[in-house]
Each structure stands twice: as structure tokens, then as C-alpha cells.
Structure 1
């Protein structure tokens, strides 16, 4: 699909993945509607395009009428909306399943030629975590409503605004330790972090090439890391005197029981259940390589990303002695 002048509606366009995607689409000449509940959050995106090229519109995937208005006349639709913890009416079922179905049905009714739906690596009808089960349910509902939809399942996404490496790096500023959880016989959870730029490139490719749609793509980086190794990476790149310590999985459940009650919990029982299964590529589905994208390694990009978390150093300025 030639994007120049095309209208593309992006749900979740103000997030850590949505912002670079909106910029990438605008850079290819698309007219981007950023569908958000609070349009004020989308205004900073406007400079990423020409005057009038990026337009915030009010919409919530839990309100079908607003979704229909947001996709009316759109050539393509992208749904990036997802939550890691439930809050009030924003349940996993409402967002990952019914909300995804609402977007897919509206896109089909509007006559959009393409739909890219972001699910998650580990989506599983029989998963231990409700997050995983509702992600799988959402995929099924999306395929039913929009059979040619392209579904992507990224592993943990890292980048300048991620809530993974940045979260742990922020902890080193006030904590002398970085804990990791150990499951016993199966060790600490394993992840295959994927760079946000690669995820964006994959979505752009799927929008551009009709022949690549209608399938599920798993997106992961070139390396697999245990939770322990991730903490060691963070400690090394922040250059802070922190110790990486092992905690039993029972400690994770205990923390989740307490912290899960907070308005913005750091960890919940459902997230603990999610960590019982490794977050790595299955190897049975197409991935970045099938889209012509060479994934970038964590070690190549993390030093620059985490530099802002390093301690400040005194600089000695040497001057030549005056004569």
C-alpha cells in the first residue's frame, strides 16, 4: 500500500510504541489519526508531521460509537491498546478481547484495506495468566471480524520509553539490590527483548505489503536472557554499586499480594502467573526475518538508553598554564 495521502487510524498512538509508529507513518506521507481518550496527550505528536497531517481524535475501544467515528474513511487501522494490570472497568476482557473485536469490526465495516493488531508473545487460550488468555481471545475475535488482519506478538519491547529496562534502571537510584525471581527447577523467567524500532518497522511493512497479512508474526530480538541476566545487564550499564540477588518465586507472589493493591502496581498476581512461562519465540511462526528485518541486539542499544541513569561524575577541566 502506497501510504502517501492515505488515512491511517492508530489506537494507542501515544504509547511507547505508538509514538514512533505515528512518526514513521507520517514520514511516509500518511495522514494519521491518533485515536485516544485524552486528545491533549496526542498534541505533542503533531510536530512529527506536516501541518494537519497528524490529527488527534477522541475515542475509546470500550465505546463502539467512538471507534466507528475514528475509523470512518480510514484506509488502514492499527490497534496497539493493551494493559498490564486491570483497573475498574478496564479489565483484560474489556480491553484485550472485546475492545480488540470492536476495533476489528469497525475497521471491516469502514472498508479499511488493512488492519494490524498488536497482541503479545505468549498469547494462549490455556495460559496460566488472564493476560495471556484474553490476548489469545482477542486474536480469535479479530480474525473472525477481519480475516486478513496482520497480528503481531512482540516479546518484551525495549526502547527509550519502555517500562521494562527503564523501570529496573530507575530502581538502581534508590535500591542497593536488584532482585530476580527464581522458579526453582526451571530457573528464572526468560525473555527475548525486541527493539521498538524493529516492531515499528514490522508494522509499517505489514501495512505496505498485502501479501504478508492474514498471519500471526512473533517478534523477538536475537538474544534470549534470563531475568537474572537482564538484571546484571542493567546493573552494568547504570554503573551503580547494586547487587543482583535471587528471590524465590514465592516472594514474587507475596510482593504481588501487597503491591497489587496499589493504583499503579509494580507487580500483580497475574504478572507473576505470566512469568511462569518463558517469553520467547516458539520458532513455528514467521518473525522479523520473514519481514526482511534484521533484529537489533540489546547490547548494542542499551548503553545509550540507560546512560541517563548513571551517577553524575565530576569533570576536571585542564587548562594550559598562562605565561
Structure 2
């Protein structure tokens, strides 16, 4: 049995990856700030969910001992990007290198670039650089927006559509190429059997590009709550996001709007690595969004 440390392993993508690795006979260590939020993973027979501060270098060093695989999964859409997307991945990579961990995988984001218009995308690029500087053989994945049961993407739209009589939509023509969470997990797991993936970066996308308007409309149709969609121009998109920043758990920020100025799509002709086939959104979304 091999050992794997999943940092950020109690989140949406991390939970899916934990289930897959547990079924592949990995012994998992899943650090979290609050263990009660990870009760869904305590049932995995090979998983150990522990409370730990992964920002503390000494704690990281202790967690790295004896690991065969470390996966860096932590990501946020608002908050302290420098601490979460840049400093933490650098700490993880340095700790993994110091402990001679054989494999390190880092989850970044599609369209991450130093000159991107948003702090989110800039910080993701800086995090990649920090990982590569400390652990050059790390494998990096850059998924587009990830969908699946329990996501914070289509599920969020469905919740909003149930409540709102109409939808004033920021950046309605923003382009996305959503990728199924299980396809992302498959790419991560497959990379372990491909030594040539070390030191490489892989964008991950689904088979089709959509506008945000199309995605919201499709979600409304599936969930039984179709609503009129009013596309907002850029200035009003920023104004809407500014107002939402003041709401508890507001669904959008101005930095999110800046991120949407960059198409969240893979290069033309790009496919999933390792011979994997991307699953269409339409084959999965009805299973968790359709009105029962």
C-alpha cells in the first residue's frame, strides 16, 4: 500500500480524488482545519482525517514523512490569494523536496498567467512558479471550471435560479470549457503511471465551449427553473460584483469579473492527456440538476 498526502483533500475535487485513491489501495492523510467538515471522508477505510495547520512549515515537514505522493489542491476564489495560491504551494513543494517525496502534483487553474487581468489568475501562475522552483519534477494540472455533483458552479446557478424571478448576469459572453470532476481525477491518477508526466503541465477541459449565458440557461432548464437572463455590460458587471462583495458569502467579486475577461478554454485541438476522453456536460449534469 502506498501513502498519499492530499492537502486540500477535503474540498470538492479533493474529496473525489480521495475516494478514487482509496479504492486504488492508497493510505490517505487528509489534513483539515476543521475535522467535522470532513465527516464524509472518515468512512473511507484507508483515510486518516486530521486537524492540522498546513501553512506551518514544521507541520508540513511532519506530514511529508513516508509519503509516496503529495497532491496540492488548495484554491480559493476570493481572499488572501498570495498566502493561499503562492506561499502555500511553495511551502508544500519545499517540504516535499526536503522529504524526498517521489511524486508531487499541483492543481492550478486554466489561463493562469503572470500578466492575467485578475489577481486570482496571477496568483495561480505565481504558485506554479513557486512549485517548479522548489520541485522541478512536479506535475501541474490546469483545469477549466470543474462541474459535478456537489460543485459550486452549476449547483450555485441552480440555487440562484430557484430564488430569482430573473437573472441580471455579469459577463454573459464569458467563455468556459467545463470539465467533469471525475475526468480531472482520472487525469491525476493516470499521471502516476506515466513517468514522463513529471515536470509537465497539462490543461484540462471538457469537449465543448459554452458562454456563461448558455450555461445558466441550461441549468435553469434542467432544474425546472428557467428564468429570463439579462446580460449586463462590463460596467454594470463590475457594479454588481462590487455590491456582492459586501454580502456574506457573496457569489461574485470584481476580481472574478476580471478573470472572466480571459476565455477559460483550452488551446484548439487540446484533449485530455494519457488517452482519456472528456465527458460531455450533458451526460452528467442532468443526474444532479434535473428536477425530481
Normalised-by-shorter TM-score class: over 0.9
Match of 1:72 among 46, 65, 74: 65
Residue 127 (1) aligns with residue 98 (2)? no
Deviation at 1:283, TM superposition (A): 4.2
Instruction: Specify the alignment match of 2:52 in structure 1.
Output: 59
Instruction: Specify the alignment match of 1:174 in structure 2.
Output: 163
Instruction: Specify the alignment match of 2:27 in structure 1.
Output: 31
Structure 1 residue matching 2:206: 3-state secondary structure = coil
Q: TM-score, normalised by structure 2?
A: 0.95
Residue 256 (1) aligns with residue 241 (2)? yes
Is the 1:238–1:306 contact (alpha carbons within 8 Å) kept by the matching residues of 2?
Answer: yes
Q: Once the two structures are superposed, what CA deviation does each residue of 1:222-268 show, in whole Å capped at 9, x if it has no partner?
A: 00001111112112111224112222121221112121123422111
In 2, Cα distance between the equivalents of 1:105 and 1:39? Answer: 26
Q: TM-score, normalised by structure 1?
A: 0.87
Match of 1:81 among 68, 74, 80: 74
Instruction: Specify the alignment match of 2:94 in structure 1.
Output: 105
Deviation at 1:287, TM superposition (A): 4.7
Is the 2:241–2:253 contact (alpha carbons within 8 Å) kept by the matching residues of 1?
Answer: yes
Aligned Cα root-mean-square deviation (Å): 1.6
Residue 114 (1) aligns with residue 103 (2)? yes
Match of 1:247 among 232, 238, 251: 232
In 2, Cα distance between the equivalents of 1:252 and 1:241? Answer: 21
Structure 1 residue matching 2:162: 3-state secondary structure = coil
Deviation at 1:65, TM superposition (A): 1.6
Q: Once the two structures are superposed, what CA deviation does each residue of 1:178-219 show, in whole Å capped at 9, x if it has no partner?
A: 33334xxxx710000000000011111122322222111000
Structure 1 residue matching 2:114: 3-state secondary structure = coil
Residue 190 (1) aligns with residue 190 (2)? no
Instruction: Specify the alignment match of 2:210 in structure 1.
Output: 225
Is the 2:174–2:260 contact (alpha carbons within 8 Å) kept by the matching residues of 1?
Answer: yes
In 2, Cα distance between the equivalents of 1:45 and 1:153? Answer: 25
Q: Which runs of 5+ in 2 are unaligned?
A: none
In 1, Cα distance between the equivalents of 2:226 and 2:84? Answer: 40
Residue 22 (1) aligns with residue 18 (2)? yes
- The number of equivalent residue pairs is 292
Is the 2:170–2:240 contact (alpha carbons within 8 Å) kept by the matching residues of 1?
Answer: no
Greater Rg by CA: 1
Runs of 4+ in 1 over 6 A off after TM superposition: none
Structure 1 residues 132-171: aligned runs within 5 Å? 132-171=121-160
Is the 1:165–1:234 contact (alpha carbons within 8 Å) kept by the matching residues of 2?
Answer: yes
